Amino acid sequence: MQNNNKPEKSASSEFDHSGHRDRLRDELLTNGVERMKDYEILEFLLFYCIPRKDTRPIARRLLNKFGSLSAVLDAKENELAEVEGIGKNSAALLTLFPSIAGRYLADRKKDKKTALSSAKELADYLSDFFIGKRTECFYVLCMDGDRRPIRCELLNEGEEYNVIVNVRRLGLIVAETKAAFVVVAHNHPMASSAPSAADVELTQKIADIVNALGARLTDHLIFGSDDEFSMANSGFYYARYFR
């Protein structure tokens, strides 16, 4: 009697995982990410969270939902979890990737001692510290008399729309580094970079502390979701806090 029941296919027979993944890895290492398609980059990242499954359809579903590679990586965990095939590990990896990239870029700048004389140079230097940040973060940058970075430190990390700043700790850092020039910076991850009333009040407090220590507050930079704001370069109303 003929058996009409077909044997079940094993996971390995359905898809040549190791061979495909080796080819994609070798192509990425040889040609770099610039020549890779967005779905291939996502597919490759998902290899490390989904070991025994074809991740290409999942990568395509992510792009179909969010529209671009950057939008996928900027999405929240709960949003990513809505996509078929994305579990907790995959969502965590994709969510953390921008922050890890930002940490890498910021870390590379720690040993650079190039003078930062303009608002643009300061913004270029500090912007990497905010890559991937989903909550408000506040940094202080201390510089020597030639405006070369001495130390850049995170004072606090708060919520999406608020961060509490310990101005006493800021003063201790300025005194400890013997900074001549000080820049403070924070982000508005879900809004424009326009200063709030609280931002203006905080700037006055910081200026008083920094000036009392014999240093000079050079700028308060705010990084919005799509723009940036230099309080020192934005007219007389804000400029009075900076000497």
Q: Which of 106, 48, 43 is nearest to 69 (CA)?
A: 43
Q: Which of 101, 123, 96, 117 is nearest to 223 (CA)?
A: 123
For the chain, where are the alpha helices, taking DSSP H only? Answer: 11-14, 17-31, 38-47, 56-66, 69-74, 77-80, 88-109, 119-127, 167-177, 197-212, 236-239
CB-CB neighbours of 148 under 10 Å = 14
pLDDT at 236: 62
- Please give the average per-residue pLDDT across 208-230, as a whole number: 94
Residues 238 and 221: beta-carbon distance below 8 Å: no
- Two structure tokens written together for 51: 């070991």
Statement: 15-104 belongs to CATH 1.10.150.20 = yes
pLDDT at 14: 46
pLDDT for residue 230 is more than 90: yes
Q: Distance between CA atoms of 168 and 241, rounded to whole angstroms? A: 18
142: helix, strand or coil: strand
Q: Distance between CA atoms of 192 and 162, rounded to whole angstroms? A: 14
Residues 126 and 141: beta-carbon distance below 8 Å: yes
Residues 174 and 182: beta-carbon distance below 8 Å: yes
- C-beta contacts of 132-135 below 8 A and 24+ residues apart: 132/96, 132/97, 132/98, 132/99, 132/100, 132/101, 132/102, 133/99, 133/102, 133/157, 133/187, 133/189, 134/76, 134/160, 134/189, 135/159, 135/160, 135/163, 135/189
pLDDT for residue 117 is more than 60: yes
Mean pLDDT computed over every residue of the chain: 87
pLDDT at 126: 95
Tens digits of residue pLDDT in 79-113: 999 999 999 999 999 998 888 888 888 888 777 77
Token pair 């609280």 in the structure block, residue: 198
For the chain, what's the residue count? 243
Q: Distance between CA atoms of 31 and 35, rounded to whole angstroms? A: 6
Per CATH, the homologous superfamily of domain 111-239 is Cytidine Deaminase, domain 2 (3.40.140.10)
Tens digits of residue pLDDT in 150-205: 999 999 988 877 888 999 999 999 999 999 999 999 999 988 999 999 999 999 99
The residues spanned by each domain of the chain are: 15-104, 111-239
pLDDT at 111: 72
